[in-house]
Chain A
Amino acid sequence: AQTVTQSQPEMSVQEAETVTLSCTYDTSESNYYLFWYKQPPSRQMILVIRQEAYKQQNATENRFSVNFQKAAKSFSLKISDSQLGDTAMYFCAFMKINSGNTPLVFGKGTRLSVIA
């Protein structure tokens, strides 16, 4: 079974600064995807970024980028130029690639507060 660990229950960052959220995972699978989801107070689950395990290049989406270290099973999220709207719970998630789609396995989340 896969497990996802987020070791930082809470973090805070000043507006316009950079913050990195940590995530490690454990799996024996070789083909999988990793995701970061954002959950603001509205509770909607919003996909921030995804990474295919077979790609060595780190994914980026505007101010969001990941540091994917496959051998270390590490998948951290960097948020640059933090904005007040980035305040939310952030979940790291794992999905193994199967013949069909498989459910996501989530970490316990990191609550990020962006301070003005």
Chain B
Amino acid sequence: DTAVSQTPKYLVTQMGNDKSIKCEQNLGHDTMYWYKQDSKKFLKIMFSYNNKELIINETVPNRFSPKSPDKAHLNLHINSLELGDSAVYFCASVGTSSTDTQYFGPGTRLTVL
């Protein structure tokens, strides 16, 4: 049973389109994240949610809008896609204890043409 799942795993789209990536965790965790891994493999936090509430927004363009309908789900919607949005997007979750480990989803490779 997958702990953190993301759909889709691959997404190819044209510039200017709007797309969404979905994330679900079945670990009962309260905190979820979106990370972006660029073409040079650098991983950086984008957003952090705790119990459906936005905690961290790391100066991400407002074309990116995360939404958490419940604490098991954190979706990422991207408007007006640009070439520079091409990357791998990882969802992750972690429990409430500071000793908990972050679990990562399999990643979504987004390619904007």
Contact = CB atoms under 8 A, between A and B. Distances in A.
Given A103-B33, A104-B102, A45 B90 contact: yes
Contacts, number: 54
A52 to B, nearest CB: 8
B45 A103 contact: yes
A103 B45 CA distance: 7
A66 interface: no
A43 B107 contact: yes
Interface string B70-103: 0000000000000000001010101110111110
Contacts of A42: 106
Q: How large is the interface on A (under 10, 10 to 19, 20 to 34, 35 or more residues)?
A: 20 to 34
Majority SS at the chain B contact face:
strand
Given A44-B106, A45-B104, A109 B33 contact: no
Which 8 pairs from chain A and chain B are nearest by CB? A45-B104, A103-B45, A106-B43, A101-B94, A97-B98, A101-B31, A43-B107, A109-B41
19 contacts: A43-B106, A45-B92, A47-B102, A89-B41, A97-B98, A100-B96, A101-B31, A101-B94, A101-B98, A101-B100, A101-B102, A103-B35, A103-B56, A104-B35, A104-B45, A106-B44, A108-B41, A108-B42, A109-B42
Interface of B: 31, 33, 35, 40-45, 48, 50, 55-56, 88, 90, 92, 94-96, 98-102, 104, 106-107, 109
